[in-house]
């Protein structure tokens, strides 16, 4: 697990958990995801042999010992760890791929493995980071998560399980340096492929010697921090909690604080969840009463130290978490896609392949649509372009620069169009397009000026058709949505166009946070 810039936020999370540890968590009706019911598997998950998980940890320790004492990014011990895991998966029939990336002048690797069964358009993905810090072999952080998901993956062919959804497992590189591997994977995954990932499960440190039993708080019902995950995360949380309830182990929420490899997934709207047994935080007396162990001591006293070796593991916690992983994977792989799940989304913080003037028929002479970090512009006291976006720093905007005057980079001369990459829509459920937008203009505008958002497949659904008028209209973010279920099962594109068709009028427009959900 990567270090935090500041420990205060994490310690605050643990403090809240300690205060609420004696009583069962509660939530107001407004904070509970209505689609948070746990999933129960029709085919029960197998018991995951602790001895097998520990055998993988022994291999990781041996690899570190033979390669300078660690398995860190850019070091030979990391690549040897990738090769070990890959060989195990290849031998039982997984389709594996090693994805390379560069960080700090060194080559890093992600290992991705798909089981060749189940719906390829509905993927349940399970991941753990495989790298250690340079200080030690990283057996709990995160050999434990890596070994546990490896043994769960190996249990699929061994048990004869036939999942309804496609199972994908991932071992991430350079997590300890800032989620570099998982972020590279998410950011470079084609939009249509990203939309196929319906749930992501993350397991980072699941055998801490002074263990706690934390589950990512999908619906914010424990109120431990930044808020709930994307729609559908609560169902993952409830499914994992159902397993621990079945074995009589209480759990507490841990926040989606972006500390591990689920961060890049939730940032693009993919539901996520997982478990965590604690890092450098201190176990409280209430938590020791709840779970056993030593109050006043770190959950993992060897966190990011040379002593994070094969002896730095709580076998009971590792065994319980490995079985919880299998329970969640088996249940989610047999379940329908959770209501409210994200089919596709774009916050425009990274370039995802939108195309300007896609048909080659645009007539605008300036201020064409672009993905940009917008500069604020005003004219005669009217804000014509906002310098802030709905999320992050980038949006789609008609000419992002400010220029010497408000009219320098505004939309001029006619129509400008921009088109999303192809999106394959599910064939079932209610499909909804949602987005944020504004249209701004001065009194020299008319109803010939407009901002329009459409979804185009074999048919077309118009989600917005905002027209101008001969009045001042200041830029202000609004939300729009439309039912696009008529296009189910089609490959579509979101098409956005704006027009300055009133001669010398001053017109600006922007769109942000475009999302398609299924319910």
Residues 371 and 444 grouped into a single domain? yes
Cα distance between residue 468 and residue 446, in whole Å: 5
Query: By the 8 A CB rule, do 73 and 104 touch?
Result: yes
Domain that holds residue 471: 345-518
Across the range 105-131, mean pLDDT stands at 96
Residue where one domain finishes, among candidates 338, 365, 397 = 338
Burial class (CB in 10 A: 0-12, 13-18, 19+), 160: exposed
Q: Are residues 354 and 314 in the same domain?
A: no
Residue 71: predicted pLDDT: 98
What is the sign, positive or negative, of the torsion defined by CA atoms of 171, 175, 176, 177? positive
pLDDT of residue 284: 97
Question: Domain check: are 70 and 179 in the same one?
Answer: yes
Contact 110, 86 (CB under 8 A): no
Same domain, 255 and 140: yes
Question: What confidence score (pLDDT) does residue 37 get?
Answer: 66
pLDDT at 221: 64
> Which of 303, 338, 373 finishes a domain?
338
Point out the domain boundary residue: 304, 338, 372.
338
For residue 215, give both structure tokens: 């589950």
Instruction: Kindly provide the b/e burial profile for residues 416-434, where b requires at least 16 CB atoms within 10 angstroms of the residue's own CB.
Output: bbbbbeebbbbeebebbbe
Domain contains 9 = no
- What gap in Å lies between CA 424 and CA 400, rounded to an integer? 30
The region of weakest confidence among 15-24, 40-49, 298-307 is: 15-24
Q: Is the pLDDT of residue 31 over 90?
A: no
Task: Please tell me the pTM assigned to this model.
Answer: 0.67
What six digits make up the tokens of 477?
Answer: 């973010």
380 in the same domain as 273: no
Query: Measuring CA to CA, which residue among 192, 171, 191, 193 is closest to residue 182?
Result: 171
Q: Please state, in angstroms and rounded to a whole number, the distance separating the CA atoms of residues 14 and 344.
A: 34
The reply to whether 438 falls in a domain is yes
Kindly report, residue by residue over 366-375, the tens digit of the pLDDT.
999 999 999 9
- pLDDT value at residue 337: 61
Cα diameter, the chain: 76
Q: Looking at the structure, do residues 397 and 276 belong to the same domain, yes or no?
A: no
CATH of the domain at 241: 3.40.630.10
Q: Tell me the pLDDT tens digit for each residue of 335-374.
A: 766 656 788 999 999 999 999 999 999 999 999 999 999 9
- Tell which residue, 128, 206, 119, has the closest CA to residue 169: 128
Task: Indicate whether 321 and 378 sit together in one domain.
Answer: no
Cα–Cα distance list, 101 to 183, 263, 288 (Å)? 10, 18, 42
- Measure the CA–CA gap between 420 and 496, rounded to whole angstroms: 9
Residue 16 reports pLDDT greater than 70: no
Tell me which DSSP letter residue 132 carries: B
Q: Do 329 and 350 sit in the same domain of this protein?
A: no
Distance CA 38, CA 372 (A): 41
Which residues, 6 or more positions from 214, have their beta carbon under 8 angstroms from its beta carbon?
Answer: 17, 251, 252, 253, 254, 275, 276, 277, 278
User: Does residue 243 sit within a domain?
Assistant: yes
- In the block, tokens 């995801």 appear at 33
Whether residue 1 lies inside any domain: the answer is no
CA atoms of 57 and 140, how far apart (whole Å) = 9
In this predicted structure, which of 7-21, 103-117, 389-403 has the lowest mean pLDDT?
Answer: 7-21
How deeply is 21 buried, as exposed, middle or buried, from its count of CB atoms within 10 A (0-12, 13-18, 19+)? Answer: buried
CB atoms under 10 Å from CB of 477, counted, come to 16
Q: pLDDT tens, 423-460?
A: 988 887 889 999 999 999 999 999 999 999 999 999 99
Per-residue model confidence (pLDDT) at position 217: 87
| CA distances to 96, 218, 255, 256, 284 from 223, in Å | 39, 10, 8, 11, 18
Partnered with residue 495 across adjacent β-strands are 419, 454
Same domain, 379 and 262: no
List, as one string, the DSSP characters of 335-387: SPPPTTEEEEEE-SSS----EESTTS----SB--EEEE-PPPEEETTEEEE-S
Calculate what percentage of the chain has a pLDDT beyond 70. Answer: 89
Domain count for the chain: 2
% of the chain at pLDDT higher than 90 = 76
Q: Identify whether 364 is part of a domain.
A: yes
Residues 333 and 354 in one domain: no
Residues 20/195, Cβ–Cβ less than 8 Å: no
Residues in Cβ contact with 157 at an 8 Å cutoff, skipping those fewer than 6 apart: 92, 93, 115
Residue 311 lies in a domain: yes
Catalytically active residues, by annotation: 175
Q: What is the pLDDT of residues 124-164, one digit of tens each?
A: 999 999 999 999 999 999 999 999 999 999 999 999 999 99
Tell whether 382 is covered by a domain.
Answer: yes
Cα separation of 352 and 62, whole Å?
41
Would the pLDDT of 33 be above 60? no
Does residue 315 sit in the same domain as residue 373? no
Q: What is the mean pLDDT of residues 263-288?
A: 95
Is the pLDDT confidence value at 486 over 80? yes
Sheet strands (E) in 380-448: 382-385, 395-398, 415-419, 423-424, 431-441
Q: What is the CATH number of the domain that holds 350?
A: 2.60.120.200
Residues 475 and 425 in one domain: yes
Looking up tokens 């008028």 gives 469
Q: Is residue 251 part of a domain?
A: yes
Instruction: Find the DSSP H helices in 91-160.
Output: 145-159
Residue 518 confidence class, pLDDT cut points 50, 70, 90: confident
Query: Do residues 211 and 298 lie in contact, with contact meaning Cβ atoms separated by under 8 Å?
Result: no
- What is the rounded distance in angstroms from the CA atom of residue 424 to the CA atom of residue 457? 10
| Cα(411)–Cα(414) distance, integer angstroms | 8
């Amino acid at each position: 697990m990567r270090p935090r810039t500041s420990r205060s936020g994490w310690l605050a999370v643990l403090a809240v958990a300690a205060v609420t540890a004696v009583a069962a968590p509660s939530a107001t009706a407004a904070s509970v995801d209505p689609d948070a019911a746990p999933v129960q598997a029709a085919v029960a998950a197998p018991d995951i042999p602790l001895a097998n998980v520990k055998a993988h940890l022994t291999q990781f320790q041996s690899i570190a010992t033979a390669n300078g004492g660690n398995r860190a990014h850019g070091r030979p011990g990391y690549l040897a760890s990738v090769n070990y895991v890959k060989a195990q998966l290849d031998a039982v029939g997984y389709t594996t791929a090693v994805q390379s990336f560069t960080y700090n002048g060194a080559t890093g690797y992600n290992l991705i493995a798909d089981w060749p069964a189940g719906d390829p358009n509905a993927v349940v993905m399970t991941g753990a980071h495989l790298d250690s810090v340079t200080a030690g072999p990283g057996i709990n952080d995160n050999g434990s998560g890596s070994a546990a998901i490896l043994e769960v993956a190996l249990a699929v062919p061994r048990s004869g399980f036939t999942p309804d959804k496609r199972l994908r497992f991932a071992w991430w590189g350079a997590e300890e340096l800032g989620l570099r591997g998982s972020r590279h994977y998410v950011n470079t995954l084609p939009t249509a492929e990203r939309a196929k990932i319906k749930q992501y499960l993350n397991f980072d440190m699941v055998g801490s010697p002074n263990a706690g039993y934390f589950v990512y708080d999908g619906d914010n019902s424990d109120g431990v921090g930044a808020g709930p995950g994307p729609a559908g995360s609560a169902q993952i949380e409830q499914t994992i909690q159902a397993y621990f309830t079945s074995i009589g182990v209480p759990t507490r929420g841990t926040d989606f604080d972006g500390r591990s490899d689920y961060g890049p997934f939730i940032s693009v709207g993919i539901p996520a969840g997982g478990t965590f047994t604690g890092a450098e935080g201190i176990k409280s007396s209430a938590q020791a009463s709840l779970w056993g162990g030593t109050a006043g001591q770190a959950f993992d006293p060897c966190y990011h130290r040379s002593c994070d070796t094969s002896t730095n593991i709580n076998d009971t916690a590792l065994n319980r978490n490995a079985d919880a992983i299998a329970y969640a994977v088996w249940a989610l792989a047999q379940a329908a896609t959770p209501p409210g799940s994200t089919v596709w989304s774009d916050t425009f913080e990274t370039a995802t392949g939108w195309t300007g003037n896609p048909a080659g028929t645009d007539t605008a002479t300036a201020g064409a649509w672009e993905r940009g970090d917008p500069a604020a512009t005003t004219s005669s006291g009217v804000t014509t372009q906002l310098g802030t976006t709905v999320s992050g720093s980038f949006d789609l905007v008609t000419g992002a620069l400010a220029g010497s005057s408000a009219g320098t980079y505004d939309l001029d001369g006619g129509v400008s169009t921009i088109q999303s990459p192809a999106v394959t829509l599910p064939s079932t459920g209610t499909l909804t397009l949602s987005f944020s937008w504004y249209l701004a203009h001065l009194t020299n505008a008319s109803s010939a000026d407009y901002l329009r958002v459409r979804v185009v497949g074999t048919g077309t659904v118009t989600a917005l058709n905002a027209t101008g008028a001969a009045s001042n209209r200041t830029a202000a973010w609004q939300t729009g949505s439309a039912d696009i279920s008529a296009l189910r099962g089609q490959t579509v594109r979101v098409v956005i166009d704006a027009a300055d068709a009133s001669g010398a009028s001053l017109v600006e427009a922007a769109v942000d946070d475009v999302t398609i959900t299924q319910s």
